Structure 1
Amino acid sequence: MSRLGELIAETCPTGVVYKPLGDLCTVFNGFAFKSKSFNSDGVGLPIIRIRDVNTGFSDTFYSGEYDEKWIVENGDILIGMDGDFRANRWKHGRGLLNQRVCRLQDFSHEVIADFIYYQVQDELDRIHASITGSTVKHLSSRELQRSRVPVPPLVVQREIVRILDTFTELEAELEAELEARRKQYEYYLRTLLLEPDGRTSMKLGDLGPVSMCKRIMKAQTSPEGDIPFYKIGTFGGEPNAYIPEELFREYRDKYSYPKTGDVLISAAGTIGKAIPFDGEPAYFQDSNIVWIDNDESVVTNPYLRNWFKVITWATDGGTIRRLYNENIRRATIMVPPIEEQRSIAATLDMFETLTSDLSVGLPAELAARRKQYEFYRDRLLSFEELS
């Protein structure tokens, strides 16, 4: 930062000139490509729409004819002109500039393109905040062209770009590390479980009955109480309903109740979500939270829990997807010998722990880096305007 301070003191100590963005580059609008030529088969070039500016990636392709001027290349600065007004540097190869996405091009000799990239987001945020009374906000090319941005000397621009690029590169490295760990875990999950050699194929219904707790009526619950009652919306989280301990003991002793280690499954909402029962006193909503009362001499609970992550459930329609007992009973898994099950489960649990630790630690570090980046960006891009 001291180097930048020295450069500013040497070259623009009293401020800099502000100019309309339209004087520094061209705002080039995308084209209304015909959706009948869109496809998801990889035929043609990716079509870059507003949502793709935000994600930096498009999986929709255009197979029709086009003019070369609509082609987007790596490094092009794109802006989504509806919604949040985000700027992004394109990094996913050649694509086509769709309508309501613009590209900044033909930059003046007074500016570096990457400096404008960093600078323009502040202007986009200002314009976005100034638009009221609209559910979805829209940006016009004219308004963008009229936006005024500072034009410090090129040597100052280069130093600012260098500093901000360092932050964005570090963020990209952290995101890539997290994604690599997730992919590694998914690879081992599928490789270790789906390998058929020397294994028996069994239906879940052959491992044991699908079990559930006794139905609890709403009138039997309260927002506070003795025993947490987990419904589908609170499964795996914090309970918001409780039942009396006397009722819990009666139902636990009279009706089906999970054993410690049994794998509880969500049959509605996020279907197939699997959580081992820790044995702490709790009750679970019937039909929506179930378990297989399996014989652990045939299939261990840790092995079964991992299988629930890769099973493709055959569900029965409706607005709310759900698993019925028959869906669960029909599902098939591969069953190796018990010792192999234990080895596979231990390996996958180790990878899951590593991935979970990264999933907690890296996002926190990313959030800290983003705050640091935004702090420095705001400082680096603010200049006194020459009168």
Structure 2
Amino acid sequence: MSKIEKMAQPFCQNSVEYVPVKDLFSVLPAPKKIPRSRYGEGSLYPVIDQGQALVSGYTDDESALVPKGEYVLFGDHTREVKWVNFPFAQGADGLKILIPGKSLVPRYAYHAIKNLHIASRGYNRHWTVLYKMKIPVPPLEIQREIVRILDFFEKLGAELEAELEARKAQYAYYRDRLLSHESLERMEGAAIESHPLGELGTFTRGRRFTKADYAENGVPSIHYAEIYTQFGTATDKALSFVRNDKAGSLRYAQPGDLIIACTGEDSKDIAKAVAWMGEGPVAVHDDCAIFHHTINPKYVSYYFQTSDFSKLKQRYATEAKMTRISVKRLASFEIPVPTPAVQQQVVDILDRFDALTTSLTDGLPAEIEARRKQCEYYRDRLLDFPRKEA
């Protein structure tokens, strides 16, 4: 038995009461929400939403600041759990700001919520599941000791994640350089022409499906919001499914097609693409475009991530309640098209760099994942109390 397990053992000897989340937390409404289109309008206060990153932008708008406190934040769509004890403003919809009650050490409350396992419901609401779930409420002194142990492991992971973010910035710089016209022509050894996407393939809009159409199993599907919250350059697996009886009314991407988000909360989200590399077709939401083409799908998807392409899409996005870009506009965007051999060479290089920043089996991501699993293991151990009988 390890030292940490010996420390955990006495915490689990006495039974404790498990209490529903709804009885332990109150939900704080934000004074007002900062739309994603305004995330860059300032530098004083962080903007936090339900995305994976702790901070998604900054604002100088003091009227949007959440009152000072210690909060557990929960992403209604993403299931992300965050801890905040500094001034911040709430970003776009979907974030629940939870205030722990007096029976909880606030930081313990964060670890306890983080320890709950909530099955994905696609892009549906998850708060309706979380608020019914129960967490253990041991004495406050035990909560503080659990916090001390788990914070130690989280600190180790945070240090590695900071280094990873620096590497991601280096990777983005290198990707932009590699996909520049000048660099591609050096690799090609000849001049390279750019072509509108509409000349390189065909665009089709997906077909609408709603929350009521989701199922545990059924037709593999991709929703527009999953493209900018869950997927990277390419995927061979869907994360959500639509009822089988809807199969005949859906539209599908075929292997090798690009699936492009045409709707988002700001211009950064729109025109993000994921190459579909699955073995069969996948249903696509109507706020997405399906690009059927003969180019290397990952080459196109990587090009969609460049700064040059980002500037182009931001120039032509239309903003209202949601930001959108039309299929007609996408078809007019030009990209450089080297020979298939050079396209594959670019993909091979970027895949290796991408693995260093995203792969769970290589480099820093693997070490971060190992630390995360270590923290999860001890969190499960420390929060596994015998239940007090009613």
- Answer with 1 or 2: which has the greater Rg: 1
Q: TM-score, length-normalised on structure 2? A: 0.49
Q: TM-score, length-normalised on structure 1? A: 0.49
